[in-house]
Every structure is written in C-alpha cells, then in structure tokens.
Structure 1
C-alpha cells in the first residue's frame, strides 16, 4: 500500500489501492477526546469507586489521581502514535515492535474485552437515562432498557457507515452536550453549597478504607472512569497532522475532563449523602431529584445524548483495529474492505455490532466495566513496555513527540502493582477476562499459523467475500 503524505487532505489512490482519508483536524481530535474520555462514567461509576474507598475524601483523591494517571498513559500512547501514525493504535505499535503473536493478542483482547463491552455499556447507559424520566420511582424494566439500547446501537452504526466527516462534525455537537451536563451539575452544586452549606462533607474521611488490596480495585475502576481516550490513536491514519495535533489535544482534553469530573463529584456529595450514592446507578438523576426535580428530564436527556456521543466515537475508533488486523492478514480479509463511496470499514463495523448486541443481551453493567478495565490495564502495560523498549533499542529514532522518561517508568511500576493487587482481590471476576484473552492463542493458531487450510475453507471464505461485496452494493474495496 502506498504511503500518504501527512498534509494531504484528499484520498490518494496508488497502485489501485485506497488510503483512509485524512479528514480529522485538531479541533475534531479535541472534540473526540473530550467526548470519549471518561465516557459517561461520572454519571454511573461514583458508586463503584466510593464502595472501594469507603470515604468521600479518598474517592475524590482517586478521581484526581485517575485523571493524572490517564494523562501520563495518554502521553505514552501519544509518543508511539506520532511515531507510527497508522490505523490500529496500540495494535499497530505492538505488532511492528514485538511481532505477530503479541500483535494478534492485542487485537483479540481489544475486540473481545473492550469493543463489545464498551459499545454495550454506552448504548445501555444511553437507554437507561432516556427511559429514567418515565420511571422516576423505580428502575425501568431491564428488558426494555436492553431493547432500546440495541436500537440506539444499530442506528448509530448506520450513521457511522455513511461518512466520517459527518460523524466528526456531529461529534462536536455531542461533546458540547457532555460539557453542558457536567457544568450544570457543578453550578447546581455550588448553588446548593451557598444556600444550605455542605453538611455531607463535614467528615469527609469517615469510613476510609485502609486495606491496599481494596484500594487497588478503586484504582482499577479509575482506569475505566477516565478511559476511552485510546480510541483516538486508532484514527492516526485519518488525522491531518498527528505529530502536532495529538499532543496538544491530549493536554487540553485531559485537563478539562479531570477538572470537571472532580468538581462534579464534589457537587454530588454536597447534595447527596454518600450512603445514597452507593445505592444509585443513576447518580446524576438522584442529584437533581434532591436539588430541583423539574430539571430531572433535562439532565436525563443530556446524559443520554452524552452516552450516544461516546458510542459514536467508539464505533468510529474501535472498528479500525479489526480493519488494521485484517490488513495485516491477522483477521479474515473481508474485514479490510472499505466502502469506496464513504471510505469506512463496513464489514469490521458490522461484526463488532453483532458482538456488542451479544454483550447487551447477556452482560451486566458492572461486568462490562470490569472487562473494559481489565484489558485497559493490560493494553496500557503493553504500550508502556513497547515505548521503553524503543527508547532502549532505538534511542535516536525520529519522534515527532517525546515525553519525559519518568512518565513511562512510573506507569510501568504502578500498573504492575495495581494489576496484581486486583487479581489478588477479585481472582474469579478478573480470571474470566484473562481466560477470554488466553482464548486468543488457539484462535491465532487456527487463523494465522495454520496456512494449509482445506480447500473447502478457502472456497467458503471467497463466497463470503463475494456475498459481502454484493450486499454492500459492490462498492467495497479490499486492501
């Protein structure tokens, strides 16, 4: 495949092959990061972190610490992303540096433990908040939530399959919705503090957890609460100037999100007692129920739209990992097909949609969060190791952005400690996720190493590719 110049805004066709279009600007990168970083966790996850920290003060410290930790990790990803501005993000870096098996396991884990659970979580959250105003005194029926979530998922998959430029423009509007929702909660919390004080904060350290293994689980969830920013590294092949735009966007967006998330949690605790926070899965709704009930439909709509915005970004970014794996012959070739009119990887998006629907039908909300958090930790560790290896083996390689060395070293040590403490604390839950990741080994043998597959297999795959192309209007091109 021919190379595309970084500054070229149009699609290059070289040797009769297509390149993804560089249509994502600095503003769009910031918009995507602000929307997807932390997704809707601040409206859902406070109870999870508080349940492990035990006190308001420690939970707030963890929200700040989680933001800083994710900033450092994002800078590690940024260095590699600007060195290897290719679709696939961490998968592309690990494949190029450590070879086929580590690369395949990265893609396998990303697609099974992040994409499906994350899309399902976002669609479920959007559905839950959209229905909540109609069930103020109780939780909406779970079956109804999941059916609406499937409809939301399929609708935004269809939109993503149309045109990347439209998606990124729509994302700018969706990002504003998230920032408005957070700002509304912060302002209302300030009003409540001025009017009634903050009795709930009179003893912020009450109930503080002292066991390191339990606190480690709160760190584990902090990865999830600020996660999602990794998506933008999957889009480097479509960013106009990745060496300039990505570092700026990371600093700006992480500062905005960390500040707003921390202040939003302070506002929660001003209005809501911590024991009520622990019992709620829709904390933002409970906040306005206590502060000013007529605003409940407003915040419900804003959070639902925010979750849709995160889902929109996730569809845009996650599908590029499967696309990149297929292009490197580590997934069936049909998933490297893109629609020549809209320049989007339709088959890759469709497969992940099916997996997400399976997760929606079968998975629980916090199980989804644990699966995403588990592989986020593993993925972050792999990227940090890749970065440190390249610093050692290729110290003079061209790096459009180079972060301070203490950042990957500190993340290397912290991730190891948190990971093993979490495994010790929750071996069964996290063991299931590790088992899913280990299932990638036989998949690698069958799909990649076994070259002499039966002729019937090859005939079947050719038939599937032909059917795929015909169903998509014969306007798909395969890399």
Structure 2
C-alpha cells in the first residue's frame, strides 16, 4: 500500500463521502463480500478460528447478568419451576435463532449479520433502519451498560462501607471503553486473545459456582428447588418480560455473524461454533441458577443485588473474593467482545453506502476497522457521561427482537427468491418460522398486556429511520463538508477503503 492513496486519490464506495442507494440487483451482490486483488487492496483478514469463534459467542453472551441479577426472571415468573423453564426456553430460542443465522452466515458470507441479511432478503430500507437503530442506540448502549457494570465492580473493590462515588464509576467506565477500543483498533489477534483468556476465566468462575451448588445439593439442601411451580404467574406480559430478562443474559448469540469475513473456513466453523457455544451457555445458565437455589432461598435471591457475591460469601469462606473478581473479568470480556462485533456493523453498513464512507475504511497496517470502532466508542462514552442509559435496558430486547424477527423473514424470503444460492448449512424451514412467531409474541405481547412508554420511544426511533433514509440515501443528498471531513479523518487515522482503483 503506497502512501499516495492517503492524499485524496481514493475512490470511495459512494463517491466523495456521499451515501449511495443500492438497486435490488446491487443488494443481491452482497451474497459474497468484495474480493480485492491479493496484494493490492486493503481488506479484513480471516484470523478468527473455531476456538476463537466459540470464545466470542460464549464471551459476549456470558457477561455480568448471570453473576449479578438473575433475579429478574424469578421475580416475573413467580416460581422456581417456571423460572428454570424460562431460562431453558431462552436457551432453546437463542439456539434456534443462532442455527437460522448459521444458514444466513454461510449463504451470505459477509460481515454485518442482520444488516446484510435484511439488505439481501428484504431490501435497502429495512437494512438501513436496522443500521440506524443499532449504530446509534443498541450497540453503543450495550457497550456502555457493560462497561458501567465493570466499573462499578472494580471501584467497589477499593471502597469499604459506602457506595462507590458516581463520578469515579463514570470515569472508570469511560476509560474502560477507551482501553477496549484501543485493543480492538490495535490488533484483531490481540482482541481475540483477550477474548479467549477472559472467556476461560469466566467459565472457571461458573465451574466454581456449579461445583459449590452441587456440593450443597449433595448435602440435602433441596428444599427451595422442591417448591416447584408454586405461585407461578398467569400474566402473558409477565412471561414475556421474564423472557426479556433471560434473553438479555443470552444476547450475543448472533455476534459471530458480525465478523463472518474474518472467520477461517466460515462454512464449517460458523455453524460448528454456534452448535458448541449455545448449548454450552444454556447448560451453564441452568446449572448456575440451580446452584444459587441450592444455597439461597428465592426470597434471598430476590433481595440480593449481586447474587454471585452473596453465593461466594455463603459457600467459599476465605476464598469469597473470587466472585467479585470473576464478575469483573466476565464483564470485561463481554465488553471486549461487544466492541469487537459492534464496529463490524458500522463497517458493513458504510461499505454499502448506508452510513458515511469513513466508517467503512480500515487501517493501512493493522487491518482493523478503526473508524467504525472509534465511532461506536464515542457514542457509548456520550451515553455514560449523560448518565441516562438505565431505561435503555427496558426496551433493548423489545427493539432487538423486531430485527431478529425480520432476519427470520429474510431467510424465509430468500428460500424462495434465491433457491439456487449455495447453502453449505441449511436449517429446517420450521425453525425460522418458529423464531419469527416467537419474536412477534415478544414484541406484541407486552404492548397489549402492559404498555410502557419505553416501547413508544423504541418504535419512534425505529420509525425515524425512513425520515433519514429518504434524503440522505435514496435521494443521495450530501452536505458539502462531508468529502473534506472524510479526507481529513482518512489522513488522521491512516485508513483507506477496503477496495479502490489504482
């Protein structure tokens, strides 16, 4: 790569920084990613193997939730038995969704997950709305929430007998986002190694909880589990929101699809990583919840703000400090995995002209999508500093399952519109239909039974997408300063497009 291309002679996706609309035929072309000439164009390399793929799935799914507050499912279901059923149901639903995504990821071997699936299956507007909502709200808010959880546990370890100072927690959260973003901008290999190490650490922590719980059960402490389905709720809304709580803990099952172009042998390793990772997480969550109930009563579990810490204090004695350490390491690993995948969404959307071109550029030497990663970090930091991200959790699952359902619809449509497309992995058609119906239930059920203002906010932001799409993408209106701004950041960040003309 010669330095001359940083001086303004780069050919961008949509011209000089403009957003460009795609025809139906062009949208179909993303069935395969761009294939640059070897040694000529800068592009993302395939550096994610099977083990790293499993670590990415497990590492992003298992964050702080299972260690801190699994009480949400128990509180909304009302009984121990129904709580475990919901945890199992969330695992099954996530696995079915991930299996459908495995087909989507092998038939469309491009990074971006839902974005490219909606683009090919349903067209430009649905894909743009997804990238709009996820790039500006869902992905940054997830990173912000996880990093704040990490900061709270880290600061709490150095503060005795008082609440950790809010300003210090905010500062640590901001620094955490900055540090993780630097790791991911510096090297894909380093980011995957960090993910592998922290995933191993959190699995060790889960093993400690499970062994402790099984030991307690062996001593005859089964009285809380024997309560079964007593006091189970009869509310449709309560069951749906219980699924929301569980699915928040399971979220991340689709993250490997965001980096399809960086997976070694994706037609084999993508489905295999999903088949290994999802059942592993489901088993971990069930065993951890059973272990908690072997040591604590349902009332004690509901009253605890950090269930794993309470568990450790009860059963680990002088080694109780392992639990806060485990939560901190688990949360950091989840934040790293979230950062790794979030940047690829912006990268994929910008490459197709649905976001500004600079977000589709990669570093000339490190081959990382650093502009997209930095963009995601800036929004996450703004959310932390603003201090008003708590309500985002309430409608996160509501919003994201709209798009999961649309991805299932895209798969169903592509079975008809692209019947001859190569499908190295193919799921029974009943699976996407089942996940689609469940997504409709999860979206419509709470609105009918117990409407909340957060749902209106979420729908409002989704519906705002077309208002942005029409002038900036469909009619290709570009402010005059965009081209100069793109060139400035291109030089500043030392980035180039993933394909260009010599």
Matched, 1:216 2:240: yes
Show the counterpart of 2:59: 35
Show the counterpart of 1:103: 127
Which of 457, 472, 475 is matched with 1:432 structurally?
457
Which of 461, 473, 476 is matched with 1:451 structurally?
476
Matched, 1:471 2:471: no
Show the counterpart of 1:158: 182
Distance 2:441 2:497 in 1: 45
Distance 1:58 1:363 in 2: 35
Distance 2:334 2:74 in 1: 24
Tell me the TM-score normalized by structure 1.
0.92
Pairwise CA distance, 1:279: 2.8
Q: Which moved more, 1:407-416 or 1:249-258?
A: 407-416
Pairwise CA distance, 1:347: 1.2
Show the counterpart of 1:253: 277
Matched, 1:340 2:364: yes
Could you say if the C-alpha distance between residues 12 and 99 of structure 1 is closer, same or farther in structure 2, counting changes exceeding 3 Å? closer
Show the counterpart of 2:19: none
| Cα deviations by residue, 1:299-321 (Å, 9 ceiling, x for unpaired) | 11122111111111111111111
| CA contact 1:132–1:300 (8 Å) conserved in 2 | no
Which of 198, 216, 220 is matched with 1:174 structurally?
198
Q: In angstroms, what is the RMSD of aligned CA positions?
A: 2.3
Could you say if the C-alpha distance between residues 296 and 359 of structure 1 is closer, same or farther in structure 2, counting changes exceeding 3 Å? farther
Distance 1:135 1:276 in 2: 24
Structure 1: 5+ residue runs without aligned partners? none
Q: Which moved more, 1:243-252 or 1:93-102?
A: 93-102
Q: Which moved more, 1:234-243 or 1:265-274?
A: 265-274
Distance 2:490 2:104 in 1: 34
User: SS at 1:39's partner residue?
Assistant: coil
- Tell me the number of residue pairs that the alignment of Structure 1 and Structure 2 aligns: 468
Tell me the TM-score normalized by structure 2.
0.88
User: SS at 2:321's partner residue?
Assistant: helix
Matched, 1:63 2:87: yes
Pairwise CA distance, 1:379: 1.6
Pairwise CA distance, 1:343: 0.6
Pairwise CA distance, 1:397: 2.6
Distance 1:394 1:450 in 2: 28
Q: Which moved more, 1:444-453 or 1:230-239?
A: 444-453
| CA contact 1:116–1:353 (8 Å) conserved in 2 | yes
Q: Which moved more, 1:275-284 or 1:172-181?
A: 275-284
Could you say if the C-alpha distance between residues 293 and 121 of structure 1 is closer, same or farther in structure 2, counting changes exceeding 3 Å? farther
| CA contact 1:43–1:283 (8 Å) conserved in 2 | yes
| CA contact 1:60–1:262 (8 Å) conserved in 2 | yes
Show the counterpart of 1:320: 344
Distance 1:326 1:269 in 2: 47
Q: Which moved more, 1:461-470 or 1:169-178?
A: 461-470
Which of 18, 31, 42 is matched with 2:42 structurally?
18
Which of 282, 307, 312 is matched with 1:283 structurally?
307
Which of 113, 122, 129 is matched with 2:146 structurally?
122
Distance 2:187 2:402 in 1: 32
Which of 48, 71, 88 is matched with 1:47 structurally?
71
Show the counterpart of 1:270: 294
Could you say if the C-alpha distance between residues 370 and 349 of structure 1 is closer, same or farther in structure 2, counting changes exceeding 3 Å? same
Structure 2: 5+ residue runs without aligned partners? 1-12, 14-28
Pairwise CA distance, 1:144: 2.5
| Cα deviations by residue, 1:165-192 (Å, 9 ceiling, x for unpaired) | 1211221111101101111111111222
Distance 2:250 2:283 in 1: 12
Pairwise CA distance, 1:376: 2.2
| CA contact 1:78–1:247 (8 Å) conserved in 2 | yes
Show the counterpart of 2:156: 132
Pairwise CA distance, 1:387: 0.7
| CA contact 2:471–2:477 (8 Å) conserved in 1 | no
Pairwise CA distance, 1:14: 5.4
After superposing on structure 2, the runs of 4+ consecutive aligned residues of structure 1 that deviate more than 6 Å are none
| CA contact 2:402–2:440 (8 Å) conserved in 1 | no
Which of 370, 380, 405 is matched with 2:404 structurally?
380
Distance 2:153 2:69 in 1: 14
Q: Which moved more, 1:441-450 or 1:145-154?
A: 441-450
| Cα deviations by residue, 1:65-98 (Å, 9 ceiling, x for unpaired) | 1000000000111111100111211101111222
Could you say if the C-alpha distance between residues 217 and 155 of structure 1 is closer, same or farther in structure 2, counting changes exceeding 3 Å? same
Could you say if the C-alpha distance between residues 324 and 73 of structure 1 is closer, same or farther in structure 2, counting changes exceeding 3 Å? same
Pairwise CA distance, 1:37: 2.1
Distance 1:28 1:147 in 2: 30
Could you say if the C-alpha distance between residues 47 and 345 of structure 1 is closer, same or farther in structure 2, counting changes exceeding 3 Å? same
